[in-house]
Structure 1
Amino acid sequence: MSDHPAVESVVARVKAVYGSWRRDTTVAQMRADWDHLFNATGDASVEPIECAGVACQWITAPGARTDKAIMYLHGGGFQVGSLASHRELMAELSAAAGVRVLGVAYRLAPEHRYPAALEDTLAVWHWLQAHGFRPRDIALAGDSAGGGLALSTMLALQEKQQDLPAAALLMSAWTDLTASGESYQTRAAQDPIHQRPMILAMARNYLGKTGDATDPLVSPLMAAPAQLRGLPPMLLQVGDCETVLSDSEAFARKAREAGANARCEVWPAMIHVFQQFPAELHEARQAMASAGQFLEAHLGAASKRKTSS
């Protein structure tokens, strides 16, 4: 990555956090360190709210409409990450799509293993509908573990024959907790952080002794074609330097083969959830603009913003 100094600078910041962790570093310390890494604030408003017993936040960029919603699920391997670490990303997404974002602080492992995160997400989904949002007025979005969780949520709704969201945005989505994709080998030398042993360790922490990594509600890549056929339009964004590249490419391919609308954008030279670094990476800003256009189109959010501006 020597030909992309901005990426190298970002990687150095992230490695400084990972490099400080030792075997005796507590989960609480890891979470605090991760939140501190992403501490930028913008001009979006932040409104804490409890939804069906789950702590959430409304993140609203100036001018964003409030009759639609993007329900956001943060990444962090189901163990770190929070509404604080992802506040800037959610604010950028709200501005790009012109819609307010509901960030969900689902329960984390190892204190709360699968299916706690999925249960919380489904509870918030139903809370939104109970408070006047129609499924077609809601998009799901998430990064890394949160991207996989967004897909698991849709598969769970489909399994129960319940209405699905209008669309889904999935950034560096973790869709395969068995880490079986070829990119775990082909991108191992390029990915500065996410190596297969760490990925598998996070999966074990999330699942515990009884969880099954091949369950489609855990690893959406394992879903049968019939489970994927009815999913809403999906945009997957992933960096070409990621070990989880296959997680996005293989899922998008499998979904398309099943008849779903799934587009995968592979960004050259980019790292895991590069969209979290908009100040440093112009590719992050470009990717967010693409994501915003996708969500606007499927939420029907563009027309009101244009007529009211």
Structure 2
Amino acid sequence: MSSIQSDALKSLYKSWAASMADNPNMPLDELRRMFEHWADVTAEPGGVDYIEVDAGGVPGLWAVPKGVRQDRVLQCTHGGGYVCGSMYSHRKMYGHFAKTFGCRALILNYRCAPEHPHPAPVDDTTSAYQWLLDQGIRPQHVALTGDSGGGGLALATVLRARERGLPMPSAVIPLSPWLDMEATGETYQSNSDKDALVTRGIVLGMATTFLGEGGNRQDPLANPLLADLRGMPPMYIQVGGDETLLDDSRRLAEKARSEGVEVIFEIEPGMQHVYHFLAGVTPQADAAILRLADWVRPKLGLG
């Protein structure tokens, strides 16, 4: 359930929603600066070094906790509707993941729309995954995660890797993933008075920006709900109970299970979109990350 501490994320989202309502034609650079403040609600993990890297032509940021295995990697794709967010806005959150998991995290600064519409983001993240393999990291020692649009992108990366004949990673961890480019989920209505930020209108607008005018909203690499998920790696999905995007996660879990994928699906009651940003601040976020770590560590060969 939500707590006094978790209200920080809700308050942040309410301020963003108010700013966008007051300025419906907000310039893109202003919108992006606003979303960089996502990290404001996350505690500094401590004991983590950050190193910028060229990951096969894709800018990235290594989050390297003290004393972890260097040959186990969590590849991270930030949220922001494929328009906003960066490796810097998500540095602290994925630093917590790396520290709890006991491995390095590679946070990617993939190209975003509208300058670089679909499929530029998935091309970048797949190239970065190929780069990891070329560095000698075994596929079974890599897990993929991402939040919001980055959650959909983590799934699309696996699909694109499969298209290219690359070996599958050990696991994929979508966090509050945005998948449905047509925003058909029932929770857009049922959770509309609970979600402090995400509305159907915002999602449809971001989909148009991401795909370009006339873009295919049913492309499985944009909406993995329409993909063939057979043979996908094990999946652990977490989502907040107050999210309008809740049905995207629910439908993903149902489809993946029906196609033979190992799935764990968790709804955290009373929590907002990507509540994991509250790492180091709320017990709900810390406990969720710990559950993910307990699940993925054996898959990465970390015991």
TM (norm. structure 2) is 0.94
The C-alpha deviation readout for 1:210-255, integer Å capped at 9, x for no partner, is: 42111111100112xxx21100101000011111111111111111
Residue in structure 2 matching 1:191, options 192, 195, 201: 195
Residue in structure 1 matching 2:186, options 182, 186, 198: 182
Question: SS where residue 20 of structure 1 aligns?
Answer: helix
1:42 aligns with 2:45: yes
* 1:292 corresponds to: 293
The C-alpha deviation readout for 1:237-295, integer Å capped at 9, x for no partner, is: 00111111111111111111111111111111111000001243210011110111122
* 1:259 corresponds to: 260
Distance 2:39 2:17 in 1: 14
Distance 2:163 2:156 in 1: 10
Distance 1:239 1:42 in 2: 22
Which residue identity does 1:296 align to in structure 2? R
Task: Give the deviation of 1:176 after TM superposition.
Answer: 1.2
Distance 1:189 1:24 in 2: 24
> Where does 1:25-40 land on structure 2 (aligned, <5 Å)?
25-39=26-40, 40=43
- In structure 2, relative to structure 1, the CA distance for the partners of 1:193 and 1:36 (3 Å cut) is closer
Which residue identity does 2:164 align to in structure 1? K
Distance 2:164 2:88 in 1: 32
Q: Is this contact kept in 2: 1:96–1:291, CA < 8 A?
A: no
Distance 1:34 1:179 in 2: 22
Q: Is this contact kept in 2: 1:82–1:105, CA < 8 A?
A: yes
* 1:20 corresponds to: 19
Task: Give the deviation of 1:12 after TM superposition.
Answer: 1.2
Task: Give the deviation of 1:162 after TM superposition.
Answer: 2.5
Residue in structure 1 matching 2:154, options 147, 150, 154: 150
1:270 aligns with 2:274: no
Question: SS where residue 5 of structure 1 aligns?
Answer: coil
Which residue identity does 1:79 align to in structure 2? V
Residue in structure 2 matching 1:61, options 58, 65, 68: 65
* 1:164 corresponds to: 168
Question: SS where residue 209 of structure 1 aligns?
Answer: coil
Q: Is this contact kept in 2: 1:191–1:271, CA < 8 A?
A: yes
**Greater CA deviation, 158-167 or 48-57?**
158-167
The C-alpha deviation readout for 1:71-101, integer Å capped at 9, x for no partner, is: 0000000011111110111110001110100
Number of aligned residue pairs: give it. 298
Task: Give the deviation of 1:191 after TM superposition.
Answer: 1.1
* 1:307 corresponds to: none
Runs of 4+ in 1 over 6 A off after TM superposition: none
Percent identical pairs in the alignment equals: 35
1:71 aligns with 2:75: yes
Which residue identity does 1:97 align to in structure 2? F
Question: SS where residue 228 of structure 1 aligns?
Answer: coil
Distance 1:121 1:206 in 2: 15
Which residue identity does 2:45 align to in structure 1? G
The C-alpha deviation readout for 1:82-135, integer Å capped at 9, x for no partner, is: 111101111100011101000110001111100110110111011111111111
The C-alpha deviation readout for 1:148-185, integer Å capped at 9, x for no partner, is: 00111111222333311010111001121111111112
Q: Is this contact kept in 1: 2:53–2:60, CA < 8 A?
A: yes
Q: Which runs of 5+ in 2 are unaligned?
A: none
Q: Is this contact kept in 1: 2:44–2:280, CA < 8 A?
A: no
Residue in structure 2 matching 1:130, options 128, 134, 137: 134
TM (norm. structure 1) is 0.92
Residue in structure 2 matching 1:218, options 214, 219, 222: 222
1:93 aligns with 2:97: yes
Task: Give the deviation of 1:10 after TM superposition.
Answer: 2.4
Structure scoring higher RCO (CA < 8 A, sep ≥ 6) equals 2
